[in-house]
Chain A
C-alpha cells in the first residue's frame, strides 16, 4: 500500500527517520564502551588483588579475560539486541570499528614485550592507546564528553610512568572508569533521554 504525502510531511518524515537512526546509533555506541569498560575494571582489580595476595605473577595471564569476556558478552548482548531490532552498520561505525581493531592489535602486540622485558611500560602504552582511541572516536562522532574523557585518559596514562608495579593497577582501573565507563553511561543516558 502506497501513501503519498504533501511536501511538509515528506520533510518531517525524512527528519524523523534520520533522527531515529542516529538515536539508535548512539545507543549502540554506548554498549561496547560499557561492556569493555566494566570488564577491564573487574579484570584489572582481579589481577591487582590476586598478585598482591599471592605474589604470583602468573596471575597477569588474567589480562586475556578482557578480550575474551568482553567479546563474549558483546556477542551475546549484541545478538539479543539484533534479534529484536535487526542489524545496521553506519559508515562512521565501521570506520571507528576499524580504528579499534587496529588499536586492539597493537595492544595485543604490546603484551609480548610486557612479558619478556623487565620495566617495559605496558600499562602506560596500553592506557595511552585506549585513551587515543576514545578521543578519536569522540572527535569523529563530534561528541564532547568522549573527547574530554579521552584526554583525561591520556593524562592518567602519564601518571603510570611514575606509579609502577602492582600499585599501577589501581590507577589503570581508574583510567578505564574515566575513559570508558563514564562516557558510556553519559552516551547511554543521552540516547535514552532523546528517545523519551
Chain B
C-alpha cells in the first residue's frame, strides 16, 4: 500500500521552497524568490500556506531601514518533507 503524497507539498512552488529551506538554517524572501523564480505575490501566498500548516516559520525583521522576511523550516516541516520523499520513492520504486 503506497503512502499518499502530502497535497500541501505536492505543488511545484511550495515543494521548491521546502527543498531550499531543508538545506538551510534560514533564507530570506529575496533569496527564495531568486532560487524559485516565482513572483512576489505568488511566493507570499505559498509561504503563508506553508506557515499555516506549521511547516515553516516566518519572521519579519528590518535590515537597516528595509523590511526583511526570514523563513525557516520547522521540525514538523522537516518530518513532512522526509515523509513526502519516502512516499515519492515508494511511487517510483527507487
User: Measuring CB to CB, which residues of chain A are less than 8 angstroms from any residue of chain B?
Assistant: 1-5, 7-8, 10-11, 13-14, 17-18, 20-22, 24-25, 82, 84-91, 93-94
A87 to chain B, nearest CB (A): 5
Instruction: Determine whether the beta carbon of A2 is less than 8 Å from that of B13.
Output: yes
- CB within 8 Å for A86 and B34 given contacts A1-B42, A4-B12, A14-B19: yes
In the complex, 15 of the A-B residue pairs with CB atoms within 8 angstroms, ordered by the A residue number, are A4-B10, A4-B12, A5-B10, A5-B15, A8-B92, A11-B85, A17-B20, A20-B20, A21-B35, A24-B35, A85-B34, A86-B28, A86-B34, A87-B31, A89-B27
Specify which chain B residues have a CB less than 8 angstroms from the CB of A90 in the assembled complex. Answer: 23-25
Cβ < 8 Å to A, chain B residues 66-94 = 68, 85, 88-89, 91-92, 94
The answer to whether the Cβ of B58 comes within 8 Å of any Cβ in the partner chain is: no
Top 6 closest A-B pairs, CB basis?
A86-B31, A86-B30, A17-B19, A88-B27, A3-B12, A7-B91
Specify which chain B residues have a CB less than 8 angstroms from the CB of A17 in the assembled complex. Answer: 16, 19-20, 35-36
Specify which chain B residues have a CB less than 8 angstroms from the CB of A94 in the assembled complex. Answer: 25
A111 to chain B, nearest CB (A): 32
User: Measuring CB to CB, which residues of chain B are less than 8 angstroms from any residue of chain A?
Assistant: 5, 10-16, 19-20, 22-36, 42, 46, 63, 68, 85, 88-89, 91-92, 94
Which residue of A1, A8, A93 has the most chain B CB atoms within 10 A of its CB atom? A1
Specify which chain B residues have a CB less than 8 angstroms from the CB of A91 in the assembled complex. Answer: 24-25
Which residue of A5, A11, A22, A25 has the most chain B CB atoms within 10 A of its CB atom? A11
Closest residue on chain B to residue A8 by CB atoms: B92
- Docked Cα-Cα span, A87 to B35, in Å, equals 11
Instruction: Determine whether the beta carbon of A88 is less than 8 Å from that of B31.
Output: yes
- Docked Cα-Cα span, A72 to B14, in Å, equals 37
Instruction: Determine whether the beta carbon of A21 is less than 8 Å from that of B15.
Output: no
B67 to chain A, nearest CB (A): 13
